[in-house]
Structure 1
Amino acid sequence: MEWFAVLIDVIPLALLAAVVGLDVVSFPQAMISRPIVGATLGGAFLGAPEAGLVCGTALECLALESLPVGASRYPEWGTASVVAGAVASVGAPRSSFPDVGAVAVAVLVGIVAGWVGGWSMVKQRQLIAAFARPRLDQLASGSRKTVVGLQVVGMTVDLARGALLGALMFLAARPLAVLVNARWTVGEDVSRAIVVTAVAAVAAAAVWKDFHAISGTRRLFVASLAVGTLLVVARA
């Protein structure tokens, strides 16, 4: 039955979204929450890693614009990327680029899920603060048990947040991707050009700001561009 097949996809995907979302600020902060990684994993879990990689590359360009700093509000790209990569895999063979309709929906879903995820992280912090407030005296006295307890509670809530957000967003976006794929009429070249132009403009603006704010960025950018170009030429 179709609902059972969707459930089989959702359960492991929700667990992946939870782990990748946990990496954003809680643990282990090993960069698996970067969009290019999270989306590739999301696509791979549904049998289409290349579709996830294409979507993750687009989202990575958008994520360059936001920098997670302290308690500021920012998109939560980890969970969002897993969902987007999974949505991009809808209708895609194992070794193929995603359908243009699916990747357009996937990028949009990634943006929406990122902002919803950012909002959910604010609520999570408020919940942890409410849990910690009655224990301020123990924290002030350096109680190891209280500190460890708060850390465990915080990571558990973060894990549950990522799993719930990932499952709900995927369940909402999957039928939309199927519908859009069936009715998409814009040519593949034009569709991809629109997506690439949009994300490249955001990435260019982010890199341009870094050129003026961080010493050595221009040299690193030129070196990375040269290495990437050589790799593409060598593979061709």
Structure 2
Amino acid sequence: MIPDPLHLLLLGLLGGVLALDATSLGQFMLSRPLIAAGLAGMVMGNPHAGIIVGLLLEAIHLAVLPVGAARYPEAGPAAVAAAGAYAGAGTAKPVALLASVVFMLAWGWVGGRSVEALRRWNARSAVPAEGPVDLGTLERLHARAIGLDFLRGVAVTLLGLLILGTLLETLGWIPFREQWTRPALAVSAAAALASSLRLFGRRRLPLFVAGGVAGALLLWLR
């Protein structure tokens, strides 16, 4: 479902702040999918649903490192949109969760392209046509770039919420088989975690395996 106007506003502002956190300002790792989705779930009054979405998204997004000039999908606003729409849908059906995760992957790519477009525009407009640049002009250009990045994050989040909210409202008309969705989610998360092993290197692989075994044992004991 599409959130009410107040929650749309709060989620949009959250998406804007997390867009800044990715690279422009702060970089406190709040824009990681797990944190972003959890915060969106809290805004919607359903943190449990937000964390569920965030865990799956974090597993898929784990190998993405936004460093340098690399192209990468933007996680923060997309995770807010996915978790906000799912947490507000009022359903725990796996098909809704699967739709939210798939949408985040696609919407993260859209967000990444918007980041690239904004950076290109900043590069063209940051240098004046002629003359030296004084400190006041440099500060204004910097503040403008940060402000535009915030507005971009708000727009990406709100548009994603509207699209995914509409999609989740129509899922009842689509003949999904529920028994297919849970394996699809599990396989996707497992494949994503496997692809991230290269980040740890061979020397740290035993520690990674030990952590996985400990986590599985903890879940089994509970």
Tell me which amino acid in the other structure corresponds to 1:174.
G
Question: Can you give the 5+ residue segments of structure 2 that lack an aligned partner in the other structure?
Answer: none
Tell me which amino acid in the other structure corresponds to 2:215.
G
Indicate conservation of the 8 Å contact 2:60/2:188, yes or no: no
The counterpart of 1:201, out of the listed 164, 178, 191, is 191
How many Å apart are 1:233 and its aligned residue?
5.2
Indicate conservation of the 8 Å contact 2:71/2:112, yes or no: yes
For residues 213 and 135 of structure 2, the distance between their equivalents in structure 1, rounded to whole angstroms, comes to 50
Question: Can you give the 5+ residue segments of structure 1 that lack an aligned partner in the other structure?
Answer: none
Q: Determine whether 1:131 maps to 2:129.
A: no
Q: SS of the counterpart of 2:128?
A: helix
Q: Deviations over 1:68-102 (max 9, x none)?
A: 12122110011111111112214337xxxx32122
2:78 aligned partner: 80
How many Å apart are 1:219 and its aligned residue?
3.9
Scaled by the length of structure 1, the TM-score of the pair is 0.84
Tell me which amino acid in the other structure corresponds to 1:224.
G
How many Å apart are 1:194 and its aligned residue?
1.0
In structure 2, relative to structure 1, the CA distance for the partners of 1:40 and 1:28 (3 Å cut) is same
For residues 127 and 56 of structure 1, the distance between their equivalents in structure 2, rounded to whole angstroms, comes to 31
Tell me which amino acid in the other structure corresponds to 1:175.
T
For residues 97 and 220 of structure 2, the distance between their equivalents in structure 1, rounded to whole angstroms, comes to 26
How many Å apart are 1:136 and its aligned residue?
7.5
Scaled by the length of structure 2, the TM-score of the pair is 0.88
In structure 2, relative to structure 1, the CA distance for the partners of 1:184 and 1:43 (3 Å cut) is farther
Indicate conservation of the 8 Å contact 1:87/1:102, yes or no: no
Q: Deviations over 1:112-145 (max 9, x none)?
A: 1100000000111012112212178545xxx432
Alignment of 1:79-228 (within 5 A): 79-92=77-90, 98-134=92-128, 138-139=132-133, 143-181=134-172, 183=174, 185-187=176-178, 189-207=179-197, 209-211=198-200, 214=201, 216-228=203-215
Identity %: 31
1:60 aligned partner: 58
For residues 5 and 107 of structure 2, the distance between their equivalents in structure 1, rounded to whole angstroms, comes to 20
How many Å apart are 1:221 and its aligned residue?
1.2
